[in-house]
Amino acid sequence: MSEDGLLTGEDGKVRCFWQQGLEDYRRYHDDEWGYPVTDDKRLFEKICLEGFQSGLSWLTILRKRESFRAAFAGFDFDKVASFDDTDIERCLADKGIVRHRGKIVSTINNARRAVALRDEFGSLARYFWSFEPKQDERPEVFDYATLRANPTTPASTRLSKDLKKRGWSFVGPTTVYAFMQAMGMVNDHIEGCHCRPRIEAMRQEFIRP
């Protein structure tokens, strides 16, 4: 990795350093991370997996994602909301996921909170995107130093506080900011990364929920 937080791949493309040149991580970086998402199930999946990631590497979670999807009904929050103690024990016995009781219970709790949120706002997308930061809250240049200096933002703190007031758990400001990055509410590909201009152009055309 160079001092500017970028890594040139064997294909000659410049990317954010964190994908480490690993094939599965590179695909996630190139084809998913930072792309605007409006599908409610995908949004629920993303915020839950960011909660599971707390204290772990994202690569660990990414490589277990299909197992997480199988364990949590494809992150259909209407289904997960009906999970009971039997489902908790099933998940705790599942070696394919992170077997952390608190995070498993949190996912079920958050599914119930997601149902209430969807019923109130019409969709999770409409709620989450209402917290998109204004342009004056974003750095003029998004470089490696900015990325390192900002594990949270005022917008992620606002969203975190509101979710907690609504009964969500494992949604601290750092976790929420990682969710905002992953779902494309902000474009945090570092300046010079080949994905950044493409996603920025997409964001300009994107119709907010």
Catalytic residue (choose from 45, 50, 127, 129): 50
Burial of 98 (0-12, 13-18, 19+ CB in 10 A): buried
For the chain, the first-to-last Cα distance in angstroms comes to 37
Q: Is 129 a catalytic residue?
A: no
Catalytic residue (choose from 28, 32, 35, 132): 28
Instruction: Mark out the alpha helices in 72-185 (DSSP H runs).
Output: 77-80, 85-92, 101-121, 124-129, 144-149, 154-165, 173-182
Q: Is 18 a catalytic residue?
A: no
Query: Among residues 171, 165, 186, which one has the least CA distance to residue 51?
Result: 171
Give the separation between CA 88 and CA 40, rounded to whole angstroms: 23
Q: Is 28 a catalytic residue?
A: yes
Catalytic residue (choose from 18, 32, 58, 132): 58
Give the separation between CA 51 and CA 176, rounded to whole angstroms: 9
Active site (catalytic) residues: 28, 50, 58
